[in-house]
């Protein structure tokens, strides 16, 4: 058996999935999420770019400083050789020293120091430039004391940012360079954003370049690069730093631009979705409207057929009711005439009166014949149709009314077509009538679980349509007269409904019967012969 779903309930469901986007909170949340994702992406990529830039600049500086530091060692070696070649301090040394000072501004003082074992050391020759100053010979003496000749050592300097490199030439001589650390880096080499720190094992030597802010700003960070200068004589550590602010990680303009564009995009998407949704809702509404319209038309057609049929049934009912007394009248009058004749009263006034009665009765009978002919004129439009489809149709139509009255309406029909030779509108009218009667009976009990079941099933060479309810049932004294015209158990009933049902069903060689169910309530059964003919089946299939 196939149970048809209630068509009115199987409506909008898919739109609920989309409606969450219509909530403003969800919309704003979605936007913020997009902005956060953009922020994280922007900060991460900028941070990586800064790290790379700092480390590239750091490496370049490391290379440059290493080269320069190595030059100092070379100068020391050159000067040492020059000093040793001459027994006495000469002008040559001074000339060379001065030339070095001129070409290498970071070297601000060159001193040649004598280190006698007995007497105090003294400066033999000294050349200075800029803020360079002659060395304290005692410092040189202390620094190179432990060195073997040819070795050099690092020495601190009193001036901030300066250091010295000193080399022992032999037992008694040493040479010293005063180096301005700040000039190890040449103007263009240090990027504007960079802070450079040079330090020795003893501590910081100098800091130059961009000033670091005293207090780190909100979410501000420092990108740094640290490296050692590979030199035995000048073991410097280099540290390059860049201060990065939130604004640099998350540039406001692109961020604002993204915010604006994403907002516009979301608004567009939302309006597109809303448009689509509205369109879907409109389509659904249109479908529902056209369904309602189809139902309404069906209802109108049915109501029209009912009016016509009811009129016919009424006329035929009246004809039937009048026929009986008329039959009695005619037969009695004819009997009367025969009695009169038997008593020799032929052609007497009593016979004439009876003859007139016979004529009038026949005249009335003719009127009834014409009335019946008029009623019977409604042509049969029988064809082979699927009972299941029409039962389902009429149940769908009746459901509107029963839903409103709070009565459940169930249907059971076989999946295979139930073909019978019928006029669909007429048969639908019968089922409609039976469902309405059932609903009325259920309503009288005022029960909450009121239910009407319409079932179609094959029964031998026929189909049976049963309409059962859990209403009041049929009083046994009424049962035999149920299908008589003008007989009604309803206070305002004409008594035509069931009589009409019977007339219609019989027109299609069917029958209708009523009984009370075992569990209470009434069961009406309509039987219609099945259309067996294969040819007719084909007709129906077309």
Partner 1 sequence: MTMAPVYLVDDDEGVRSALSLLLGTYGVRIETFGDPTAFLARAPKLKPGVLLLDLRMPAITGLQLHEKLAAIGCDWPTIICTGHGDVHACRRAFKAGVVDFLTKPIDEQVLIEALQQASGALDVHAEKAEAVKLVAQLTDREREVLDMVGRGWSTKEIADSLQLSPRTVDTHRANIAQKLGTTSVAEFARLALIGQAP
For 353, other C-beta atoms within 10 Å of its C-beta total 14
Q: Is 215 in the site for partner 1 (CB under 8 A)?
A: no
SS3 state at 528: strand
Q: Is 146 in the site for partner 1 (CB under 8 A)?
A: no
- Report how many residues bind partner 1 under the rule CB under 8 A: 31
To the nearest whole angstrom, how small is the minimum distance from the Cβ of residue 530 to partner 1? 17
Q: Is 365 in the site for partner 1 (CB under 8 A)?
A: yes
SS3 state at 171: coil
What letter does residue 147 receive in the DSSP assignment? P
For 59, other C-beta atoms within 10 Å of its C-beta total 14
Q: Is 515 in the site for partner 1 (CB under 8 A)?
A: no
- 332 or 445: CB nearest partner 1: 332
For the beta sheet containing 194-199, the strands, ordered from the edge strand earlier in sequence to the opposite edge, are 204-209, 194-199, 237-244, 221-228
Q: Is 376 in the site for partner 1 (CB under 8 A)?
A: yes
- Candidates 338, 389, 457, 537; binder of partner 1 (CB under 8 A) is 338
Task: Tell which positions 484-513 bind partner 1, by CB under 8 A.
Answer: 484, 506-507, 509
- 109 or 522: CB nearest partner 1: 522
Stretch that binds partner 1, among 100-108, 211-219, 247-255, 360-368 (CB under 8 A): 360-368
Determine the Cα–Cα distance for residues 453 and 43; give it in Å rounded to an integer.
Answer: 70
- Candidates 24, 88, 117, 324; binder of partner 1 (CB under 8 A) is 324
Q: Is 319 in the site for partner 1 (CB under 8 A)?
A: yes
To the nearest whole angstrom, how small is the minimum distance from the Cβ of residue 323 to partner 1? 3
Determine the Cα–Cα distance for residues 500 and 507; give it in Å rounded to an integer.
Answer: 11
Task: Tell which positions 298-317 bind partner 1, by CB under 8 A.
Answer: 316
Q: CA of 244: how far to CAs of 35, 226, 238, in Å? A: 21, 17, 19
- 364 or 408: CB nearest partner 1: 364
Q: Is 88 in the site for partner 1 (CB under 8 A)?
A: no
To the nearest whole angstrom, how small is the minimum distance from the Cβ of residue 344 to partner 1? 14
Binding track, positions 106-135, relative to partner 1; x by CB under 8 A: ------------------------------
SS3 state at 16: helix
To the nearest whole angstrom, how small is the minimum distance from the Cβ of residue 469 to partner 1? 22
To the nearest whole angstrom, how small is the minimum distance from the Cβ of residue 340 to partner 1? 10
To the nearest whole angstrom, how small is the minimum distance from the Cβ of residue 362 to partner 1? 7
* Cα three-residue angle 8-10-13, rounded to 5 degrees: 130
- 88 or 324: CB nearest partner 1: 324
- 407 or 523: CB nearest partner 1: 523
Q: Which two three-digit tokens encode residue 424?
A: 């669909």
Q: What is the H or E stretch that residue 524 is in?
A: strand 522-529
Q: CA of 394: how far to CAs of 220, 435, 492, in Å? A: 77, 9, 24
List, in order, residues 6 or more apart from 227 with CB less than 8 Å away: 58, 59, 62, 237, 238
Q: CA of 499: how far to CAs of 45, 301, 375, 427, 460, in Å? A: 89, 20, 15, 14, 26
* Cα three-residue angle 37-38-43, rounded to 5 degrees: 100
SS3 state at 2: strand
- Candidates 63, 275, 304, 362; binder of partner 1 (CB under 8 A) is 362
- Candidates 71, 90, 332, 378; binder of partner 1 (CB under 8 A) is 332
- 182 or 365: CB nearest partner 1: 365
Q: What is the H or E stretch that residue 298 is in?
A: helix 252-342
Given a contact cutoff of 8 angstroms between Cβ atoms, the answer to whether 419 and 385 are in contact is yes
Determine the Cα–Cα distance for residues 402 and 436; give it in Å rounded to an integer.
Answer: 9
Given a contact cutoff of 8 angstroms between Cβ atoms, the answer to whether 115 and 141 are in contact is yes
- 79 or 358: CB nearest partner 1: 358
Q: Is 273 in the site for partner 1 (CB under 8 A)?
A: no
Q: Is 373 in the site for partner 1 (CB under 8 A)?
A: yes
- 33 or 380: CB nearest partner 1: 380
Which residues of the shown chain bind partner 1 in the complex (CB under 8 A)? 316, 319-320, 323-332, 334-335, 338-339, 342, 361-362, 365, 369, 372-373, 376, 480-481, 484, 506-507, 509
């Amino acid at each position: 058996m196939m149970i048809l779903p209630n068509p009115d309930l199987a409506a909008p469901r898919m739109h609920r999935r989309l409606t969450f986007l219509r909530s403003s909170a969800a919309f704003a949340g979605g936007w913020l999420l997009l902005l956060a994702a953009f922020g994280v992406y922007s900060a991460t990529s900028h941070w990586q770019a800064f790290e790379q830039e700092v480390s590239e600049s750091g490496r370049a500086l490391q290379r440059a400083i290493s080269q320069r530091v190595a030059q100092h060692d070379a100068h020391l070696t050159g000067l040492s050789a020059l000093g040793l070649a001459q027994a006495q301090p000469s002008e040559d040394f001074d000339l060379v020293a001065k030339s070095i000072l001129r070409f290498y501004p970071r070297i601000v003082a060159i001193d040649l120091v004598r280190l006698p074992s007995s007497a105090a050391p003294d400066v033999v020759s000294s050349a200075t430039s800029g803020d360079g100053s002659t060395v304290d010979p005692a410092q040189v003496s202390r620094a190179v004391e432990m060195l073997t000749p040819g070795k050099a050592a690092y020495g601190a300097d009193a001036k901030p940012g300066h250091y010295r490199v000193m080399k022992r030439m032999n037992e008694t001589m040493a040479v010293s360079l005063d180096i301005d650390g700040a000039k190890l880096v040449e103007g263009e080499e240090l990027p504007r954003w960079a802070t450079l720190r040079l330090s020795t094992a003893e501590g910081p030597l100098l800091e130059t370049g961009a000033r670091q802010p005293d207090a780190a700003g909100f979410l501000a960070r420092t990108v740094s690069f640290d490296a050692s200068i590979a030199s035995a004589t000048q073991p410097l550590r280099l540290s390059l730093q860049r201060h990065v602010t939130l604004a640099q990680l998350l540039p406001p303009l692109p961020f604002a631009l993204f915010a604006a564009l994403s907002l516009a995009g979301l608004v567009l998407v939302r309006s597109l979705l809303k448009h689509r949704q509205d369109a879907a809702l409109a389509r659904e509404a249109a479908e529902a409207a056209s369904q309602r319209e189809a139902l309404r038309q069906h209802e109108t057609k049915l109501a029209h057929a009912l009016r016509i049929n009811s009129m016919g049934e009424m006329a035929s009912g009246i004809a039937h009711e009048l026929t009986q007394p008329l039959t009695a009248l005619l037969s009695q009058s004819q009997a009367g005439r025969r009695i009169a004749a038997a008593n020799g009263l032929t052609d007497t006034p009593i016979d004439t009166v009876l003859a007139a009665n016979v004529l009038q009765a026949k005249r009335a009978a003719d009127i009834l014949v014409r009335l019946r002919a008029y009623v019977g004129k409604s042509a049969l439009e029988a064809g082979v149709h699927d009972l299941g489809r029409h039962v389902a149709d009429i149940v769908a139509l009746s459901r509107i009314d029963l839903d409103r009255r709070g009565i459940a309406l169930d249907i059971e029909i076989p999946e295979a077509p139930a073909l019978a030779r019928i006029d669909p509108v007429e048969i639908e009218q019968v089922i409609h009538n039976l469902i309405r009667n059932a609903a009325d009976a259920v309503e009288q009990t005022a029960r909450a679980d009121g239910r009407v079941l319409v079932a179609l099933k094959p029964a031998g060479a026929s189909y049976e349509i049963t309409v059962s309810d859990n209403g009041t049932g049929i009083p046994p004294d009424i049962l035999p007269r149920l299908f008589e015209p003008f007989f009604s158990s309803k206070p305002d009933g004409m008594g035509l409904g069931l009589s009409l049902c019977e007339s219609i069903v019989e027109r299609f060689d069917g029958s209708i019967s009523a009984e009370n169910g075992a569990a209470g309530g009434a069961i009406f059964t309509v039987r219609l012969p099945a259309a067996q003919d294969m040819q007719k089946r084909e007709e129906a299939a077309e």
